Amino acid sequence: LKTPTPEDLYDHEDGTPFTRDVYFAASVAHFIAFSKWPKKKDEVYFWSPAQDDQYNGSLNAWFKKSLELDPKDRFDNLMKALDFFNQSTIKDQAMNSDLLGELLKYSIETNPWILYAGHQKEDSGNSSLLFKSDEGYGLKIWNGVSTSNTDSSVNFELLAFLDYVQSLTETNTVVIPEIKEFGYNDSLKCLFIAYEWIDGPTWTEYVDQQSLESEVIAELSLNLLKSLQLLHKNKIFHGDIYADNIFCQETAEAVHPKFVDLFDRYSVDSELHEDEHYSASNNPELSIDARDRLAVVKIVSEAAATANLESLKDKCLDLLIDEVFSEGDFQYLSHLPSLPRHPKIF
């Protein structure tokens, strides 16, 4: 989310990383529930009852408490917020019916086990499987996913994830893997995503090639900066970027840095990589977009040091002193004299 929190604006001292998470989660939930963001005052979101409320006010108390301007009046953490949300919605069968209606747009009859047969198994977790096909696609499947739940929050979570994947399909595939197909098969009780498989090299492997000249590293660094800007412009925030989940895809025109690990947020068995080298000491307090910028600046600073790009390296190190910097500061890096003026991929 590209918006400050009330803590940022009003200098509240009672806020924690957990109350900040509640605030951001409620803002996104408002967008999903009402197809619009909450109203703003002094550049921060606040709760105001929706005029066309299809839930008949059953969520008002939850939104009001989650979006309180004073963090001490919010839920203490997302777990307590979710418990209250469940209590508010489990009694509201009409809401679950509406969610089921929304999920229909993602209902698909494709049997991924048949259509993508012959895959090589790459990884598995408690609830998901990952395969690689001979045709160059990855297939991630979650089994045992059901919409027959009295707890509407389960369907709410499924719909939020499918909406997120839909947004990925509308993102420029220069910066992320292309999604071939995705959906929910109700008869098989499975959710799946078929997407472009990228074999590498990773950012680390590519930059460590001894034959690369400084001009190549400069262009690659600029492309990475621009890639993250484009990702955020499309309202896609990663939250767990590090050097080995960026792949460098070479074409005749340029080298394209691509972000992977974008499909893990629905998987209950997945965990963030949380590489301390690319995170901040106060990382839990940073917004997701700020975490992304911090990680990319650290990655670029290392590449700049390797290629003796002193101007770029020094500016990166200046930003990394405080570990928190604006989008404007981040964009400034792409205008340094040591970088190419016209990146080839944008």
- With both helix axes pointing from N to C terminus, report the angle between 152-169 and 93-103 in degrees, rounded to the nearest 10: 30
Using CA atoms in the order 52, 57, 58, 63, what is the torsion angle rounded to 10 degrees? Answer: 90
Confidence bin at 96 (pLDDT 50/70/90): low
Q: Which two tokens stand for residue 271?
A: 């965990």
Return mean pLDDT, the chain: 82
Which residues in 86-107 are b (16+ Cβ under 10 Å) and which e? bebbeebeebbebbbebbeebe
**Stretch 279-302: mean pLDDT, rounded?**
82
R_g of the chain computed on alpha carbons: 22
**Stretch 159-178: mean pLDDT, rounded?**
88
Least confident segment among 17-21, 208-212, 300-304: 208-212
The yes-or-no verdict on residue 346 having pLDDT over 80 is: no
Q: pLDDT at position 302, please?
A: 93
Query: Which residue type sits at 58?
Result: S
Roughly how many angstroms between the first and final C-alpha of the chain, as a whole number? 24
Q: pLDDT at position 260, please?
A: 92
Of residues 77 and 287, more confidently modeled: 77
Cβ distance 69 to 10 under 8 Å? yes
The yes-or-no verdict on residue 117 having pLDDT over 80 is: no
Least confident segment among 57-61, 188-192, 316-320: 57-61
Q: pLDDT at position 151, please?
A: 62
Say which residue the tokens 């590209």 belong to.
Answer: 2
Q: pLDDT at position 92, please?
A: 53
Per residue in 224-243, pLDDT (tens digit) is: 999 999 998 888 888 889 99
Q: pLDDT at position 253, please?
A: 80
Q: Kindly state the percentage of the chain with pLDDT values over 70.
A: 83
Q: pLDDT at position 301, please?
A: 94
